[in-house]
Amino acid sequence: ISFGLFGDPTGITTTVAALIDTTSREELVMDGVITLAYNKHGEMCLFDYPGGCELKPRQLMNCAKLAKQKAVDLCDLLETALKTADEKAIQDRMMTLRALYGNQEGDDTTVPPDVDSNVPFVEMEDHPTLSHPDGLEGVQDIGKDAVTKARADAQQRNAEDEMYRKQALDYSVGHVAAKVKEDADDPKKKQTASATLPRPPNDFGNNLIRSMLRSAQRANDIAAAAAKKSSTTAS
């Protein structure tokens, strides 16, 4: 709520005239302005008084009371006007719909128009059966067959995958990894390769020891014979 303030031009008195919602012409000659804002509950939300005209406290309070009453009345007027406008808009909309689609209140059944039997290439159809036309009886069966076939294909694929997995397991069980030359320097790989290869029989170790003993005995025999020969030659 805005007030246009007009003081005594002679300055003899402090009487101030206040006009609510001043016009553009009145704003050109007014001495001051005061603006107050209230909500619909009568609570002050804004107070603006830049000056330009001296006001007594009593005059300021009178402006505040008047602005409060006017703001509450204006809010009530606006709410009533908006409610009336909404109701009128709903009624206009309903009248427009009735004018377009006819006044059908609770009766949605449509009566088929009569067809002249003398008109060529025009036949009367049985309207109750139009919702279930011919040729659609097997649609549900076709859908069931498709689902059954899809399930069978999925089961077949699962069976093939399981068979392939079993074959792979059988191959991995019967396969023995060969020792690679480059793995000989790696102790971890050497340990893994030795663990996978079958161990040689114990006779191999025994035969090796026997061969070493025989070689040592033969060397001793050769050394003894050489010593004996040298002693005989010296004598």
Q: HEC states along the chain?
A: CEEEEEECCCCCCCCEEEEECCCHHHHHHCCEEEEEEECCCCCEEEEEEEECCCCCHHHHHHHHHHHHHHHHHHHHHHHHHHHHHHHHHHHHHHHHHHHHHCCCCCCCCCCCCCCCCCCCCCCCCCHHHCCCCCCCCCHHHHHHHHHHHHHHHHHHHHHHHHHHHHHHHHHHHHCCCCCCHHHCCCHHHHHHHHHHCCCCCHHHHHHHHHHHHHHHHHHHHHHHHHHHHHHHHHC
Q: Is residue 102 one of the residues assigned to a domain?
A: no
pLDDT tens-digit map of 138-173: 545 556 677 788 888 888 888 888 887 777 766 555
Mean pLDDT for the chain?
74
Band the pLDDT of 180: cuts 50, 70, 90: very low
Neighbours of 36 (CB within 10 A): 22
pLDDT exceeds cutoff 90 at 219 = no
Domain ranges, residue 11: 2-94
16 found inside a domain? yes
The number of distinct structural domains making up the chain is: 1
**Residue 14 domain-assigned (yes or no):** yes
Is residue 27 domain-resident? yes
| Phi-psi group of 42: left, alpha or beta (phi > 0 → left; psi -120 to 50 → alpha; rest → beta) | left
In whole angstroms, give the CA distance from residue 147 to residue 123: 39
Instruction: Annotate 37-81 with three-state secondary structure.
Output: EECCCCCEEEEEEEECCCCCHHHHHHHHHHHHHHHHHHHHHHHHH
- Asked if residue 30 is part of any domain, the answer here is yes
Q: What are 2-60's pLDDT values in tens digits?
A: 888 888 877 777 788 888 888 888 888 888 889 999 998 989 998 888 877 888 888 88
Q: Is residue 201 part of a domain?
A: no
72, part of any domain: yes
Domain assignment present for residue 189? The answer is no
| Burial category of 49 from C-beta neighbours within 10 Å (exposed 0-12, middle 13-18, buried 19 and up) | middle
